[in-house]
Amino acid sequence: MDTRCPLTSTNRNWQSNKSAVRTLDCLASERYLLLYRYLVESEARSAIYCVRQPRIEIQKPPLMPSETIAIAADHAGVDLKMVLKEELEVLGFEVLDLGTQGEQSVDYPDMADALAEAISDGGVERGVLVCGTGIGISIAANRHRHIRAAVCCDTSSARLTREHNNANVLALGARLIGVETAKDCLRTFLSAKFEGGRHKRRVDKMS
């Protein structure tokens, strides 16, 4: 059987060379058949793999399941606080919700003080603060020596403030940040680890 490609110069009359075309058709079908079998078999293999995996390994595990995260917001941040609280629960965290709960105007320094107090108690190590911009509430929180609150509006800041500053409070501006970005910042902040080393020396100078 001539299996040469009918498009080569050695076979100029390829259009009329039905035998060569048939041969190629045949080879192509065989290849498709092999490919089809391979796909079916690998799908079957991955189906078996999925069935054998315990469900917990497929689902995203909680970052630190036993950790309690404190959260507080003023009236401008209350809606985002509720979204973040739900997100924390989905991730497996306990949530200490320090308010506020409604739209009635409250002063952000009071909310920051409540969160700082919860963190100084020792039971809670990290927290989240939300106000309109994240700025006022983080300034108020940072007046407490044991608090390192960082306003973040992107995931790089959320990661770096954990890695370098060992920030223990994530501050978010509900009027400035989108909900999905806020959730991304939260997840990043909670999963990033303090790098220690030269950063520890600097952080120690602030406490």
**Active site (annotated) includes residue 199:** no
Shortest distance, position 55 Cβ to ligand RB5, whole Å:
41
Total count of residues recorded for the chain? 207
Q: List residues binding ligand RB5 (CB under 6 A).
A: 74, 76, 108, 131-133, 135-136
Comparing CA positions, the residue from 166, 134, 160 lying closest to residue 148 is 166
Question: Which member of 144, 153, 164, 199 is catalytic?
Answer: 164
The residue at minimum Cβ distance from ligand RB5 is 136
> For residues 123 and 8, what is the distance between their CA atoms, to the nearest angstrom?
78
- The owner of tokens 């509430």 is 137
Nearer to ligand RB5, 133 or 166 (CB): 133
One DSSP character per residue, 73-141 reads E-GGGHHHHHHHHHHHHHHT-EEEE----SSS---HHHHHHHHHHHHHTSS--EEEEEESSSHHHHHHH
Shortest distance, position 174 Cβ to ligand RB5, whole Å:
8
**What are the tokens at 101?**
């709960």
Nearer to ligand RB5, 174 or 190 (CB): 174
Nearer to ligand RB5, 74 or 87 (CB): 74
Shortest distance, position 136 Cβ to ligand RB5, whole Å:
2
**Active site (annotated) includes residue 131:** yes
Nearer to ligand RB5, 93 or 108 (CB): 108
One DSSP character per residue, 174-185 reads TTTS-HHHHHHH
Tell me the catalytic residues: 131, 164
